[in-house]
Amino acid sequence: MDKEQTVLLEMHDEERKQRQESEEKLRARLRRLLPPLMSYLRS
């Protein structure tokens, strides 16, 4: 495998890692916001 492909793969891997992290942050935020929201909607 040549150098260019390796660099592209590493960039792609890094991008995927960052996207995964931001998705986890979003899920955590949702878990924090959901209970008050649900109780607000029920009232």
**28-42 per-position pLDDT tens digit:** 999 999 999 999 999
**11-23 per-position pLDDT tens digit:** 999 999 999 999 9
d(CA 11, CA 4): 11
What is the reported pLDDT for 16? 96
Q: Across residues 24-30, what is the average pLDDT?
A: 96
What is the reported pLDDT for 1? 66
Q: Give yes or no for residue 8 having a pLDDT over 80.
A: yes
